[in-house]
Amino acid sequence: MNEQLLGKICLVTGANTGIGKATTLGLANMGATVVMLCRNHAKGEAAQAEIIGQSGNQNIDPDVVRPQFTTIHSGLCSRFPVQLRSFTRPD
């Protein structure tokens, strides 16, 4: 694992399969903290274990996607208050 994205938090949708999973692994390999937004928590946890095993990065967190962005945003702000408090919309 290199440290290009150390200290950065990345959100990846569809992170337990396909392109989302590959993206999560790539970000994990670059040292990012990755919040995996998945529809199925069990599948997200399985993908998390695989990604941690391949990347060595322990900062991978599966989360169940809620249907509206405002709910996701509120939940993430409560989990990462310092890092996200200034953001009102995704970039």
Query: pTM higher than 0.85 for the full model?
Result: no
pLDDT tens for the chain, 91 residues: list them.
Answer: 678 888 888 989 889 999 999 999 999 999 999 989 888 888 989 999 999 999 999 999 887 665 455 555 566 666 666 555 555 554 4
Fill in the amino acid letter for 68. Answer: Q
Alpha-helical runs (H) found in the chain: 18-29, 41-55, 69-79, 81-84
d(CA 73, CA 84): 9
How confident is the model at residue 41, as a pLDDT?
83
How confident is the model at residue 37, as a pLDDT?
87
